[in-house]
Structure 1
Amino acid sequence: MTFVLTWDDVLHWRCYQQWLHRPAEAEDPVAVVTRLAGVQAQVASCAEQAVAARQDQPDPGAVKQALVRGDLIKTWAARGTLHLLPPDLAKAQLALLAAARTWEKGAWQRTFVTTAQMDRITEAAAEVLDGRVLTREELTAAIVEHAKDPTLEDHLKSGWGTVLKPVAWQGLLVYGTDGVAFTRPTWGDLPEPATAARTVIPAYLGAYGPASAATFDQWLIRGQSRKAALRQWFAELLEDGVLAEVDVAGERLYARTEDLRTLQRPQSFPGVRLLPAFDQFVLGPGTADTRVIPKERRPQVSRAAGWISPVVVHEGRVAGVWDEAGETLWAKVPAKAIKAERARLP
């Protein structure tokens, strides 16, 4: 039996799945990050605000404390962007990113470094970071010396960290507890991709489902997973009963089997939320999803240089953008609710 759903039902359901109703469980920042399958942390303050937006009583220092304890780690993960993740979910997500071997593609090598150079960077980073915490400058100098290749210096110093991302994806580099310097995690080998998929795919669908395999892949690695592997991951989860197919307005999509009951009886979410820049509400489905963001409004949300605007969410959709000066709305939103949200801002 295939369940038939509407997009209105799905979008309201996602609000609750992403804890926009601010349940008691959300007071734990680690639980929020886990629930969202990671929180983008290109801008540290935005990551902290994304957690706080889902809490009734935000604790301004809670995310940093979780990083110090090791309950959260910071590293390059989904889409090559910095994320906060709990360690077990990080290991699984990194395993899927590494499986794509994107750094072995010709275009990547022509732009950055060769596969042989990348191998030397990886080997050097694994050795020099073992039991140590190094700044970007210290890490660059140590890798150049170890690899005996001064041409690597400019690539390693790049603020984008492009040649360090494959090292992170192989589970050999994370940020230290200060969120600035780097170290090597002590978690051992990453899981096999097929095993990792059994963690990452349900985690994604639990917050942003129902969705297609292609949408999941765009969220994970901008559509660069090996297609045969991607199909196999979903097929095995479907066969094992972890996932089910559902019909959403004529689209055949995947959902977690455990979510079918609540998907069929979704609660309306009439609330208004002011969410920060780079919030998972829009990054999960992607800014090109016209069910969440009207096509003509996407340029106001997805800005130049990869900037994702703070958004106003109402009834499961993006209804506008906001900043300290005010809001730009394209849907009717209760002014009283926006005022209440602004009163929460630090």
Structure 2
Amino acid sequence: MGTPRTVSDADDAGLDALRAARLASHLLTDPEASPLAAAERLAATQAQEFWGGRFALSARTTGAPTAREIDAVFDRGELIRTWPMRGTLHVISAVDAAWMVPITAERIHRSAAARHRELGLAADDFARSEQILRKVLGSGGLRRADVFAALEADGVATTGQRGSHILLSLALRGVVVWGATVPRPDQPATEQLLTLSDHLPPQRPTPTDPAAELFRRYLVGHAPASIADFAWWAGTTITAARAAAAAVRDDDEPITDTTLLVLADGRAVPWEPRTLTPPTDTGDRLLGSFEEYYISYADRSVAAEAGMRAEIGPGKNGMVKPLILRAGRAVATWSRGAADQLAPSLAETWRHHIA
């Protein structure tokens, strides 16, 4: 049999090599020097739960910075949280917002249109909300509750998920992001301040082909991965994903949507696992909710067997549970409320993070 290039083709040795390669891409065996560098390596880190996004960056940074140390990166304006894909909150570098968020914004808007009608939200509501927020956020960020209060005071109802959809829509239009944290004495933050995008640092120039650049950035932090994986992660159509991949391909060799690709000299090429070795890190590793190593692929069988995937999720409530990784495979889930029941080394990891 030839060299496996899709997950379904891989034998046990091929899967071990694939896990080793992904662990390296995800910085889980070779961390970056700073949380900002880790965030840029992943392009976008899912953070529907703020703590989970911070934990993901800590796991990928030398020295495993604490939550409060990562809060400081948000407070300096280097990292933000916004909705660049799938209508889901992600951590991204603050200088990437202007080019990254618009790539799938129109698609997310279209998918939310029916829900907007159910909530009685029309174009005038979004325009009015933008005017209000540009005014109240002009001198600095506000907490979510204060933002909703300002909208309500000016006649814009925020109940029944209306407020959340207003913020999502305005973020997709490039108006607002979640920025600096709301400090708590001697504890990590649990909230961020909503901030005008006008207050972000100077933005990176928009790439000539933003979707192709996003595909390239995805491979940097997630390869080996397929076009189908990218389509899932970016929340785009398979047709758009194929076009993005074609712009980054090295040649015209036929590939399928599930062919595993890597970057070589900036071009996407089929993955050749022969030179890779299985994971050498066989100890248990604590990872957070909505973990990128697990969630960012259409096919998650590499990271977890069927029973474990059912346990991790996404469940009916959309949650993706925190997990314990061993040699690139999820072996258990855990919860913050029962962190003291973890093995001593893993419990110490959690205590360090929230110190």
Task: Calculate the TM-score normalised by the size of structure 2.
Answer: 0.75
Cα deviation, residue 245, structure 1: 7.0
Q: Tell me the equivalent position of 1:269.
A: 279
Q: Tell me the equivalent position of 2:184.
A: none
Q: How does 1:1-346 map to 2 (within 5 A)?
A: 4-5=4-5, 6-23=14-31, 26-60=32-66, 61-103=68-110, 106-117=113-124, 119-121=126-128, 123-124=130-131, 127-128=134-135, 129-143=137-151, 150=155, 152-154=157-159, 158=163, 161-178=164-181, 179-186=191-198, 187=200, 195-221=209-235, 225=236, 228-238=239-249, 241=250, 251-258=258-265, 264-271=274-281, 272=283, 273-285=285-297, 289-302=300-313, 303-323=315-335, 324=339, 326=341, 340-346=345-351
Cα deviation, residue 157, structure 1: 6.2
- Render the CA deviation track for 1:144-194: whole Å, top value 9, x for unaligned: 566xxx463325665xx2231121122210123124321112358897686
After superposition, the Cα gap between the structure-2 partners of 1:267 and 1:298, relative to the gap in structure 1 and judged at 3 Å, is same
**Aligned partner of 1:65: which letter?**
A
Q: Distance in 1 between matches of 2:253 and 2:18?
A: 14
- Render the CA deviation track for 1:290-330: whole Å, top value 9, x for unaligned: 22221232221014522222212122222222342657xxx
After superposition, the Cα gap between the structure-2 partners of 1:246 and 1:231, relative to the gap in structure 1 and judged at 3 Å, is closer
Q: Distance in 1 between matches of 2:333 and 2:122?
A: 42
After superposition, the Cα gap between the structure-2 partners of 1:194 and 1:201, relative to the gap in structure 1 and judged at 3 Å, is same
Q: Distance in 2 between matches of 1:264 and 1:244?
A: 23
Report the count of equivalent residues. 320
Cα deviation, residue 253, structure 1: 3.7
Cα deviation, residue 139, structure 1: 2.8
Contact 2:231 2:238 (8 Å CA) reproduced: no
Contact 1:132 1:183 (8 Å CA) reproduced: yes
Q: Counterpart of 1:175 in 2: which secondary structure?
A: strand
Contact 1:29 1:51 (8 Å CA) reproduced: yes
The two structures, once aligned, show a CA RMSD in angstroms of: 3.5
**Aligned partner of 1:200: which letter?**
L
Q: Counterpart of 1:127 in 2: which secondary structure?
A: helix
Q: Distance in 2 between matches of 1:192 and 1:227?
A: 23
State the identity %. Answer: 22
Q: Distance in 2 between matches of 1:274 and 1:104?
A: 34
After superposition, the Cα gap between the structure-2 partners of 1:136 and 1:246, relative to the gap in structure 1 and judged at 3 Å, is same
**Aligned partner of 2:234: which letter?**
L
Q: Tell me the equivalent position of 1:332.
A: none
Q: Counterpart of 2:311 in 1: which secondary structure?
A: helix
Long gaps (5+) in structure 2: 6-13, 182-190
Q: Distance in 1 between matches of 2:125 and 2:244?
A: 28
Q: Distance in 2 between matches of 1:139 and 1:342?
A: 36
After superposition, the Cα gap between the structure-2 partners of 1:314 and 1:245, relative to the gap in structure 1 and judged at 3 Å, is farther
After superposition, the Cα gap between the structure-2 partners of 1:245 and 1:285, relative to the gap in structure 1 and judged at 3 Å, is farther
- Render the CA deviation track for 1:176-224: whole Å, top value 9, x for unaligned: 3124321112358897686322332112112222333332122222xxx
After superposition, the Cα gap between the structure-2 partners of 1:343 and 1:56, relative to the gap in structure 1 and judged at 3 Å, is farther
- Render the CA deviation track for 1:99-137: whole Å, top value 9, x for unaligned: 425347652333334452454256425632344323334
Cα deviation, residue 86, structure 1: 0.7
**Aligned partner of 2:83: which letter?**
W
Contact 2:84 2:105 (8 Å CA) reproduced: no
After superposition, the Cα gap between the structure-2 partners of 1:16 and 1:230, relative to the gap in structure 1 and judged at 3 Å, is closer
Cα deviation, residue 233, structure 1: 2.1
After superposition, the Cα gap between the structure-2 partners of 1:7 and 1:123, relative to the gap in structure 1 and judged at 3 Å, is same
Q: Distance in 1 between matches of 2:349 and 2:272?
A: 30
After superposition, the Cα gap between the structure-2 partners of 1:100 and 1:58, relative to the gap in structure 1 and judged at 3 Å, is same
Q: Distance in 2 between matches of 1:118 and 1:3?
A: 55
